[in-house]
Amino acid sequence: MTTTTQQTITLHAQCLCRAHSFATPPLPTTSLPLPSSSCHCTSCRHLTGALRSSDAPWPGPANVIHAAADADAEGGGTLRRYVQTEKMNILFCGRCGSPLFCEQLPAEGGGAGAGEPEYLAFTGALSVEGDGPGATLPPVVRCVDHIFVGDTLDGGALPWLRGMDGEGGPAAKVWLGGRDCSEEVPAGARWPAVGALEKGYEAGLKTEGAKGDVSLRCHCRGIDLVLRAGEAQREFEETQRRGGELPWYIDPVTHKGMGSLDGCDSCRLAAGSEVYNWTFAALRHISFAGANKEGFPRDTSQLRIATEAKDGEGRDPRLGTLAFYASSPDVQRYFCGRCSATLFYAVDDRPDIVDVAVGLLDSPDGARAESAISWSFGGAMTWRQDMIGTWREIMLHAVEKDAEEWRVERGYPKHWRRVAREEAEKAGEK
């Protein structure tokens, strides 16, 4: 077993396509972990496509970031600013969609708080030089609080993120609204309204008003779509009744699409926060919003071609601000070119389905959209291998443990894919 001998680390904030990279001066390891905050508010979920945004004060030079953003704004570069609120801009890569920094604007006038903007880095964008299996880095970030959890109605991702940094440090505080100015959720409670959730979950989509349609839209509304989850559910129920085979992502009991916890590095970078949440849908179950719903691309190659078309050259205006970045030759990551929100993950060998960013869904039962999604809680997180051996490994084990405890607490059965995998493993042992 090696021990940490490094006295300093260099921290990078870098986007998925590596067009933008910022580094800190060497930081003493004694200054770690950086205190981070997770915001679960509706605005942050629609800005990232994740169930929360996560940021920490950037311990590097602010003027470098400011100058780069100004230069790109003037020169048509790809580091883009999006106005989230009067006091806050998001800086993101317009080529790959990764959010990098929150730019907190100085207070108007003189006095305390006046001066230069301050920068918070999205923690998902952070990496340390030399990290990986064999390196024994101290935790770089530790979440000190979760804010605006009340916006989620159902607790969102809190149940599996509350203890995400493991033991050995102060427990993160949880606020229903703003820090120090709203009701605090007591330690030990994953979410105070668990009982109230049951109704929404049991009601399901079939009995709900708008046929189980769930809005799918980004913060700036440049992407405004509908996931026709109720229609999908009814269709797959019928498929099963006729003895047909269900797609791998459909729950054979509820006929809802699977929801996943994902540890993939690329998803972390694309959304700016660790542990991404996807659900899965056939493109035929996605529509444009508004009166003229028909005509959304039915397969991933049509979607790619439609998105590549330029305004005035046959681009469907209903595609709005949709853009994509090919993170591998066969992968398209769709995002909003104006506000940076992650929307879809598409891969060429699954032409009729996409991964859908759960954070963009507006489901009446809450941020986890349990009336439309069958969550895969417990068991191994998808792409967990990307976290192994890095400073984020503590988070991997803590999240897997909490997700399993949450499953048991909620009384959910083991996920069907996990049962199938465990049975296959058992058969292999014999």
Positions in the binding site for Zn ion (CB under 5 A): 15, 17, 19, 39, 41, 44, 93, 95-96, 218, 220, 222, 336, 338-339
Residue 53 CB, nearest approach to Zn ion (Å): 6
Rg of the chain (C-alpha set): 22
First-to-last C-alpha distance (Å) of the chain: 34
DSSP H or E run through 423: helix 416-429
Instruction: Give 91 or 381: the residue with its C-beta nearer to Zn ion.
Output: 91
CA distance 291 to 293: 6
Residue 194 CB, nearest approach to Zn ion (Å): 23
Total residues found in the chain within this entry: 430
Residue 225 CB, nearest approach to Zn ion (Å): 12
CA distance 381 to 417: 12
Sheet holding 331-336, edge to edge: 322-328, 331-336, 342-347, 353-357, 276-282, 257-262, 373-375
The DSSP string of 86-103 is TTEEEEEETTT--EEEEE
| Whole-Å CA distances, 280 to 94, 176, 229, 254, 296 | 25, 29, 10, 14, 16
Instruction: Give 123 or 233: the residue with its C-beta nearer to Zn ion.
Output: 123
Residue 178 CB, nearest approach to Zn ion (Å): 10
Instruction: Give 48 or 260: the residue with its C-beta nearer to Zn ion.
Output: 48
Instruction: Give 93 or 387: the residue with its C-beta nearer to Zn ion.
Output: 93
Residue 261: DSSP 8-state? E
Instruction: Give 366 or 378: the residue with its C-beta nearer to Zn ion.
Output: 366
Instruction: Give 233 or 342: the residue with its C-beta nearer to Zn ion.
Output: 342
Residue 248 CB, nearest approach to Zn ion (Å): 30
- Is the separation of the CB atoms in 388 and 173 below 8 Å? no
Residue 246 CB, nearest approach to Zn ion (Å): 33
Q: Which two tokens stand for residue 118?
A: 């301050």
What residue has token string 């390891």?
29
Alpha helix segments (H runs only) across 276-410: 300-308, 393-410
Instruction: Give 135 or 331: the residue with its C-beta nearer to Zn ion.
Output: 331
Instruction: Give 128 or 225: the residue with its C-beta nearer to Zn ion.
Output: 225
Residue 223 CB, nearest approach to Zn ion (Å): 6
CA distance 359 to 148: 14
- Is the separation of the CB atoms in 258 and 280 below 8 Å? yes
Residue 339 CB, nearest approach to Zn ion (Å): 3
- With 0-12 CB in 10 A as exposed, 13-18 as middle and 19+ as buried, what is 413? exposed
Residue 10 CB, nearest approach to Zn ion (Å): 20
Residue 20 CB, nearest approach to Zn ion (Å): 6
CA distance 32 to 21: 21
Tell me if residue 359 falls in helix, strand or coil. helix
Give the residues across from 27 on adjacent strands. 9
Instruction: Give 54 or 363: the residue with its C-beta nearer to Zn ion.
Output: 54
Instruction: Give 323 or 369: the residue with its C-beta nearer to Zn ion.
Output: 323
